[in-house]
Amino acid sequence: MIKMGMLLGGRYEILEKIGTGGMSDVYKAMDQKLNRNVAVKVLKQEFSENANFVSKFLVEAQAAAGLMHPNIVNVYDVGEEDDIHYIVMELVEGITLKKYIEKKARLSYKEAVSIAIQVAMGIEAAHNNHIIHRDIKPQNIIISREGKVKVTDFGIAKAATSNTVTSNVMGSVHYTSPEQARGGYSDEKSDIYSLGITLFEMLTGRVPFDGDTTVAIAIKHIQEPMPSPREFVEEIPVSVEQIVLKCCQKTVDRRYQSMGELIDDLKQALVHPDEDFVQVVDPDEAGATRLVVETGEEEEEYEEYGEYEEEEEESIGFRTSTMNHTSTMKLRTGRVPEKLLEQEEEEEENRTEKVTFFLILIVGLVILALIVFMIFKIMGFFDGTGSILGEGTVTQEETAEVTMIAVVGEDEDTVTARLRALGLEVSKQYEESGSVSAGIVISADVSVGTILQEGDTVTLTVSAGKEGVAIEDVTGLSMDEAVALLQQQGFTVSTSESYSDTVEKGYVISQNPEGGQTVSKGSAVTIRISAGSDDSTVRVPSLIGLPLGNCEEELAAVGLLLGTVSETYSDTVEEDLVCEQQYGEGSYVERGTTVDVTVSLGATPASYSYQASIEAPTTEEAPQYESGTSVQIALVSDSGKTLYSASVSEFPVNISISGITSASGKIIMTYTYEAVVSEATESSAAVTEKRTGSFERAVTFTEE
């Protein structure tokens, strides 16, 4: 049982639930070891004792564990504790592409293509590691607050063998490829088909194939021609239209053969959208594969593997009731029985007849009501106020009365829910308190037992605790909604504006301080509002932490170029990764601008200093040395670097050096002296010559 505040694996502190699916829940957690927020996906308790469910749950971790790419949600860890099975992943704060499309109705071709490029780069990284995703759809693509696009949920991914796999698992039926719908093999080109459907939805705001049942949709993927996105949005450029159609060819050989090929065409479409450079081959409908239905006396059980967001159509098995028996339908290669087709046609005709009947009935009732109204109007039964003459002026039902309940000392969320259930509106204000726990209601502006009308507003005073008020997260809200919400909490709000390709105009891009932080009541909060996209400028992506080789692709995806590359030490970024970029992430620059980057040389080396008074050579060190003789002094570090060099004849010599990168070194002293070659005799003087002597002193430097 997961509880807030509990510790998983001795390091992951559960903070809050952020999502749920058919088989698992997702929590925001703090990795105490690395001091970072993560997402923890936990298998639901009712499935934890089933080895088959546990195995399927761990497929995601096994499939994605080896993938490290900026366009993939990275998997950090996997574990099991007290029958709790969990996967630890990168926490991406943002919205799914599905919700983003719903919010904007449809995307511009530039935005759609830019997102598709990033998705394709992430999938390409998986394909290069022989991993096929097999469930590409907008629900499994996340757009972070910074505009980064990431592919997630490798829940039904499969390691490829010889580039193909045979499988009876299919992703969401709206995005599944024909070969997946038939239950046949699926390979990298199946992901290309699903990405093509996703691009179609971004461009048009709808999926190309829909129906009343998952079987009907699957049949359309197999049999029906792919509609052109330009049928729904005429301004889509011809190159983008052809890219979608090539991705979604029924036959795998006619699609793009790799994500790399698709990425090249997508990038070219950004630069030359109206050029006809995509080679599209019309699908051969004669070779289309159809559906066959297998029925058995025994009911076959289908075990659904839940995703972050449950969908009814995410199933390869389709359950249908016919009279008094239940059968399970599977997709196989073959032909559809005529009986099934006739049955579907008959059902479709019945549905059409029912809809037509009800439409005629509704239209008839409306016409009848208008005729009655006009007759009463002509005969003077209405006095112009909306009431019938002689019957008084009853224009609306009286509002129901509500009795105020006790709320003091209760949790604010509980109180809010109870008051709204009574039909009352709730307003909150926060007050710091050292005696009342945060989130507990201190008082209300309406006393217990007061008679109110439905729709009246009750203002609650809620404790913010000793530490102050937790700021609401207003990102994604409209400016008016965000300002009203923050002001209601007692904050002073200021706004700024900037362009955004991912956030709709007039909506909040970011806030400072961020949502969830606790600050004093009355603090200033700045929210950044989207001014919409600017075609002449592009948003600079984050390059920090990327290998240099990935930077050029990241920049090219948004129309920018890689500039000068320099190097420096960094204590926060690992060696050979980008630690600085010329323009900050999220800033806007002209399309085609070059961006300079700096690559980390690793952590800054430790620094040492040396301060000493060097004494003259001793007799033990230099027996031949004579006081006053010139001595060459050199201070050399263990790395071989000469730190000091001088010729002196007087001692002591004071030295002070800082910024040394070695912990120790040595002093080398070199001097000259007269050596007797032969002693003097009665007939000749002594013969001498100059010789050189040297010695070393080991020294240790002091860390700065």
Question: How much is the pLDDT for 432?
Answer: 74
Query: Closest by alpha carbon to 608, among 683, 561, 658?
Result: 658
Angle between helices 238-247 and 188-204 (to 10 degrees): 140
Q: How far apart are CA 182 and CA 315, in angstroms?
A: 13
Whole-number Cα distances in Å, 539 to 477, 544, 635: 21, 15, 52
Query: Closest by alpha carbon to 287, among 125, 449, 179, 196?
Result: 179
Q: Report the 10 Å Cβ neighbour count for 357.
A: 10
Which residue is it, tokens 């390979």?
187
Query: Closest by alpha carbon to 306, among 579, 20, 577, 695?
Result: 20
Alpha helices, DSSP H, located in 380-456: 412-421
Q: How far apart are CA 166 and CA 492, in angstroms?
A: 59
65's tokens: 């564990």
Q: Report the 10 Å Cβ neighbour count for 52.
A: 10
Give the sign of the dihedral formed by CA 222, CA 227, CA 232, CA 233: positive
Strand partners, 699: 665
Bond prior to 138 in cis (omega within 30° of 0): no
Task: Give the E-state strand segments of 385-491 in sequence order.
Answer: 401-403, 425-431, 441-444, 451-453, 457-463, 469-470
Is residue 96 a contact partner of residue 144, using CB atoms and an 8 Å limit?
no
Q: CA-CA-CA-CA torsion for 174, 177, 182, 187, nearest 10 degrees? A: -140
Q: How far apart are CA 310 and CA 498, in angstroms?
A: 35
SS3 content of the chain, % helix, strand, coil (to 5): 25, 30, 45
Q: How far apart are CA 522 and CA 118, in angstroms?
A: 41
Whole-number Cα distances in Å, 370 to 363, 395, 480: 11, 19, 40
499's tokens: 């362009």
Q: How far apart are CA 165 and CA 658, in angstroms?
A: 63
Question: How much is the pLDDT for 613?
Answer: 93
Task: Give the E-state strand segments of 75-180 in sequence order.
Answer: 75-81, 84-90, 94-96, 131-132, 141-144, 149-151, 158-159, 164-166
Q: How far apart are CA 70 and CA 122, in angstroms?
A: 7
Question: How much is the pLDDT for 343?
Answer: 53
Question: How much is the pLDDT for 304?
Answer: 32
What single-letter DSSP state applies at residue 167? Answer: -
Spell out, as residue ranges, where the chain has pLDDT lower than 70.
21-22, 52-53, 56-57, 59-65, 155-171, 184, 280-359, 363, 372-399, 467, 499, 501, 520-522, 533-536
Task: Tell me which H or E stretch contains 669.
Answer: strand 664-678
Question: How much is the pLDDT for 674?
Answer: 86
Question: How much is the pLDDT for 22?
Answer: 63
Q: CA-CA-CA-CA torsion for 79, 81, 84, 90, nearest 10 degrees? A: -30
Task: Tell me which H or E stretch contains 218.
Answer: helix 214-223
Is residue 474 a contact partner of residue 480, using CB atoms and an 8 Å limit?
no
135 catalytically annotated: yes
Show contacts of 546-552: CB within 8 Å, 24+ apart. 546/70, 546/577, 546/578, 547/576, 547/577, 547/578, 548/576, 548/578, 548/597, 548/599, 550/70, 551/578, 551/597
Strand partners, 646: 633
Burial per residue of 302-319, b for 16 or more beta-carbon CB atoms within 10 angstroms, e otherwise: eebbbbbbebebbbbbbe
Of 31, 77, 83, 135, the active-site residue reads 135
Question: How much is the pLDDT for 421?
Answer: 73
Strand partners, 87: 41, 78
pTM above 0.75, yes or no: no
Residue 46 phi, psi (nearest 5)? -70, -15
Is residue 655 a contact partner of residue 640, using CB atoms and an 8 Å limit?
no
- Type of residue found at 224: E
